[in-house]
Amino acid sequence: MSLHPADRIVMHVDMDCFFAAVEEREDPSLKGRPVIVGSDPKGGQGRGIVATCNYAARKFGLRSAMPISIAYRRCPSGVYLRPRFSLYTQASRKVMDLLRSAADVFEPAGIDEAYLDVSSRVTFESARDLARELQAGILGKEGLSASVGLGPNKLVAKIASDHRKPGGLTAVIPSRVAEFLDPKGVAILRGVGPKTREFLLSLGYETVAQLRAASREFLFREFGKFGLHLWDEARGIDDRPLDPSWDAKSIGREVTFETDTADAALVGETLLECVAEVHREMVSEGLWCRTLTVKARFSGYETHSKQTTLRLSTGGLAHLESGALSMLEPFLGQGRSLRLVGFSVAKFSPPEDLLPLGAGD
Ligand code: TTP
Ligand code: MG
């Protein structure tokens, strides 16, 4: 196969049931049993959610983000564990280091996924060999399983990594992109959440193949600019370059209250606990951040967030605390009960990259 210079080969790596896989590795007696990482189910009365679960648990219909009470009802015999974030962060860092060293350009995209531009491999055949080596390396050195997708861009690579989980390797060469995407549901496209999916369905577009039949004009009329994006994505077109900065990553914590509460002191205290944990993780990773976000969920699931981007990065606990509390205020002022609060930070830089104070932005 010949590639003209504009062609890219992008790899997407996504770890398989990441938090649960790390827990299984730490305690081999868990092997083969349903393992659920998330809130305390409290015999079915718990109020949080499932962060993730292993494939044995998925057989019972358990999924990420499912209320823990429902998970418990479906699988009372499972092993329910509280998340141990520092363990997952350490494992993530090791996996990322391994991947980074194999990439022309590397973009970490979350705690358990990353994009690698591997265009210098020239052929998909050779990129596939590299993917196998990386999977074997991650398994051998870290005892963890990863799924890999290869494609001409980030969109296709990401969909490909999800194609055969766990432990899968799917390479989609440019001439087969349409064939690969066609049977998939429109929900695999970026920006298509449950509501957009419903709307597309009502227009008669269930699969990518059906969506591809829609004209640009029609999609623009129905969705505005997002419609043009959909038109491109239905064709597997995605020109986004890889972003090697730290921006794609965020660190966050959230807490679901035992009972919904409008008690300002309790909410503030809980938010500060989240801030302290986020700060601890930033310190352990040697990171400063520029974006702070507070999330609040009212009784009944209505969810809001407020975000601030600082002019200069910060690593100071007091700075994070005051930022978080001032963003929380408008949520408390409404006198409504809260179900959950959370805090997260993003736009990281390593402290050594910082300009000395006063040197400008
Ligand atoms: P995912 O890659 O979405 O899920 P996964 O790795 O657990 O499973 P899969 O094999 O399908 O890739 O998310 C990575 C980790 O992020 C996951 O192990 C736990 C965490 N997570 C949450 O804490 N809450 C969530 O709602 C989701 C989706 C993930
Ligand atoms: Mg994953």
Measured over the CA atoms of residue 111, residue 21, residue 14 and residue 61, the dihedral's sign is negative
Same domain as 95, residue 80:
no
Same domain as 93, residue 224:
no
Same domain as 153, residue 10:
yes
Residue 359 in any domain: the answer is no
* Band of pLDDT at residue 248, cut at 50, 70 and 90: low
Report, as an integer, the average pLDDT of 93-122.
Answer: 92
d(CA 263, CA 31): 43
Residue 131 in any domain: the answer is yes
For residue 355, the model assigns a pLDDT of 38
Helix axes 18-26, 85-100, angle to 10 degrees: 100
**Residues 9, 145 contacting (CB under 8 angstroms):** no
Report the range of poorest mean pLDDT among 161-165, 178-182, 247-251, 308-312. 247-251
Same domain as 190, residue 133:
no
Same domain as 144, residue 11:
yes
Distance 29 CA to ligand 1 centre (A): 22
Same domain as 129, residue 12:
yes
Give the tens place of pLDDT for each residue, 118-166. Answer: 999 999 999 999 999 999 999 999 999 999 999 999 999 999 999 999 9
For residue 108, the model assigns a pLDDT of 86
d(CA 325, CA 304): 15
Q: Which whole-number Å values give the CA distances from 119 to 100, 126, 150, 169, 294, in the listed order? A: 14, 10, 11, 17, 39
Minimum-distance ligand to the CA of 16? Answer: 1
Q: Count of CB atoms within 10 A of residue 91's CB?
A: 23
Domain end position, chosen among 40, 68, 84 = 84
Q: Examine the pLDDT at 33 and tell me if it is beyond 60.
A: yes
Domain with 317 in it: 250-351
Question: What is the average pLDDT value for the chain, to the nearest integer?
Answer: 91
d(CA 151, CA 145): 20
Q: Which of 23, 24, 107, 113 is catalytic?
A: 113
* Band of pLDDT at residue 347, cut at 50, 70 and 90: confident
Distance 15 CA to ligand 2 centre (A): 4
For residue 48, the model assigns a pLDDT of 87
What is the residue-wise DSSP string for 315-332? --HHHHHHHHHHHHHHHH
* Order of strands across the sheet that contains 113-117: 105-110, 113-117, 10-15, 146-151, 169-171
Same domain as 322, residue 197:
no
Highest mean pLDDT among 63-67, 111-115, 266-270, 346-350: 266-270
Report the range of poorest mean pLDDT among 73-87, 118-132, 225-239, 243-257. 243-257
Residue 245 in any domain: the answer is no
Same domain as 343, residue 256:
yes
Q: Whose CA is nearest to atom 23 of ligand 1?
A: 51
Q: Which of 12, 18, 89, 251 most suits a substitution to test ligand 1, by most atoms within 8 Å of the C-beta?
A: 18
d(CA 138, CA 136): 6
Report the range of poorest mean pLDDT among 102-106, 309-313, 354-358. 354-358
Report, as an integer, the average pLDDT of 61-71.
Answer: 95
Domains identified in the chain, total number: 4
The CATH number for 143's domain is: 3.30.70.270
Same domain as 316, residue 271:
yes
**Residues 271, 264 contacting (CB under 8 angstroms):** no
Report, as an integer, the average pLDDT of 198-222.
Answer: 97
Same domain as 105, residue 69:
no
Same domain as 161, residue 13:
yes
Minimum-distance ligand to the CA of 53? Answer: 1
The CATH number for 332's domain is: 3.30.1490.100
First vs last Cα of the chain: how many Å apart?
Answer: 47
